[in-house]
Amino acid sequence: MFNIINPTSGKFLHEYPALTEGEMRAKIECSQSAFQQWKQHSFAERAKVLLAVARIMHEEEERLAIMMCDEMGKPITEGRGEVKKAASCAEHYAEHAEDYLAERELLSDASRSYVQHLPLGPVLGILPWNAPLWLAFRFCAPALMAGNTCLMKHDPHVPAVAAAIADIFTSAGAAAGVMQNLPLINNDVAAAIQHPFVRAVSFTGSSAAGAKVAALAAAKIKPVVLELGGSDPAIVLADADLEKAADVLTLSRTINAGQSCIAAKRFIVEENVHDDFVGLLKTRFAALTMGDPKNETTKIGPLARADLRDNLARQVEQTVAAGARCLLGGAAPATPGHFYPPTLLVDVTNDMVACREETFGPVAVVLKATDAEQAITIANDSEYGLAASVWTSSQRGEKIAKRLEAGQVAVNGIVKTDPRLPSGGTKRSGLGKELGPHGIMEFVNTQQVWLGPVKT
């Protein structure tokens, strides 16, 4: 049984039952059975379902946003945006999947040779709580349009959102088994990964958990996509538009109360503009309103769980003990709920805890670099490689992007995920890509077809 605590009040919200092992096996078998029909549907037939799903999501935007407020503390204004973004992912793949997966002619000694892209079967998505709608559709929209069926093992702390997603597919006319909710306790996930009908795994979460998932999948020779943690650098050089950089990086670091893998986390600032930039950040962080996520003016809601707040507090305390200075925040308020205030740390060095570990909350750390070369060195000195941003001239930023060890780089803009563009990290931040034309290729059989006779 999943017992859910409202992170805003700290009080019991609701409970949902977990699947038994037998129920889990039955759902996986249903997914395999549905696959036999779904894979034969045309792209147009699959798109009809995805577009119906998107339409229902738009119609139920407020209800879905409130669910996220209640279960994981997302501010209502951000929740509405997440519903729209998730719907846009369904719409994007409904429109573009056929082109992305079109046959590709390749020259050989055959009369004709080409590759075609065929579905694999049931795909298991293991998802986190921090963007429960968006991350579900980032996983399922391309997989479904490629002809796979989907099993969604969502985080135990968002069971109502997970159930709502599955219900929307039913309401949209998807056949039983095409998209299923798989509410499992964590101890049962290994059995789902290893089930012979599960043909591939998509995982979003911590690097430590991702390594375990990858090992389980590899033992059964199953493809896996991992979107893992990050300690994403934001390089601010002396020729940057400091006001714009401060605006965008404040948003990047504090959206969803800072609970985002691709949020800017290490602000690496050239020393000539360091003090000015810190002043701009401090002003913006101080103006952020923390409170009830259902309030339209709230910018910072609670963290999703008490243990997340406590771990963030530990990271800040250890970083300050190592010599950093705290200019704002730095301590959880003595009020109900899992709140942690916007926090700004300066005099930070790259060997401190807040840089070596992923900080999942509204905590910005500022590091000083003598020049662009040192800034790049600091940025790459991390076991993570998810995303990065650079603030300088566009031409200079493009050159720097090639030198950054990150899966995606934004020059003079916010790092974000977009259905049209591939996303995914390097090093301990992940394996494989999601979204765009690259993401849909992760869970297909790229089959070579050689047609004889040999050309003469």
DSSP state of 97: H
d(CA 5, CA 11): 5
453 preceded by cis ω (within 30°)? yes
Summarize the confidence of residues 248-269 as an average pLDDT. Answer: 97
Reply yes or no on whether the pLDDT at 56 is more than 90.
yes
Reply yes or no on whether the pLDDT at 1 is more than 90.
no
Q: For the chain, give the mean pLDDT.
A: 97
**Are 43 and 145 contacting, i.e. CB atoms less than 8 angstroms apart?**
yes
Respond yes or no: is residue 91 known to be catalytic. Answer: no
pLDDT, position 156: 95
pLDDT digits (tens, 9 = 90+) for 384-400: 999 999 999 999 999 99
Neighbours of 1 (CB within 10 A): 9
Q: What are the angstrom distances between the C-alpha of 186 and each of 158, 190, 368?
A: 14, 8, 41
Q: Which amino acid is at 71?
A: E
Place of tokens 């043909």: 199
Place of tokens 């040192």: 374
295, 307, 244: which is closest to 78 by C-alpha? 295
pLDDT digits (tens, 9 = 90+) for 189-241: 999 999 999 999 999 999 999 999 999 999 999 999 999 999 999 999 999 99
Helices (H) and strands (E) in the chain, counts: 15, 20
Q: Which of 71, 78, 82, 227 is catalytic?
A: 227
pLDDT, position 186: 86
* CATH class in words for 2-228+429-451: alpha beta
Q: What is the CATH number of domain 233-420?
A: 3.40.309.10
Split at pLDDT 50, 70, 90, the class of 80 is very high
Every domain of the chain and the residues it spans: 2-228+429-451, 233-420
Reply yes or no on whether the pLDDT at 85 is more than 90.
yes
129, 110, 99: which is closest to 307 by C-alpha? 129
Percent of the chain with pLDDT over 90: 99
pLDDT digits (tens, 9 = 90+) for 339-380: 999 999 999 999 999 999 999 999 999 999 999 999 999 999
Respond yes or no: is residue 261 known to be catalytic. Answer: yes
Cα atoms in the 13 Å half-sphere on the side-chain side of 47: 12
Q: Which amino acid is at 282?
A: K
d(CA 113, CA 402): 35
Cα atoms in the 13 Å half-sphere on the side-chain side of 409: 21
**Are 343 and 326 contacting, i.e. CB atoms less than 8 angstroms apart?**
yes
Q: Give the chain's radius of gyration (CA, Å).
A: 23
Split at pLDDT 50, 70, 90, the class of 456 is confident
Q: Which of 69, 140, 150, 261 is catalytic?
A: 261
pLDDT, position 187: 87
d(CA 158, CA 132): 7
pTM, two decimal places: 0.96
Task: Please give the span between the terminal C-alpha atoms of the chain, in angstroms, as a whole number.
Answer: 67
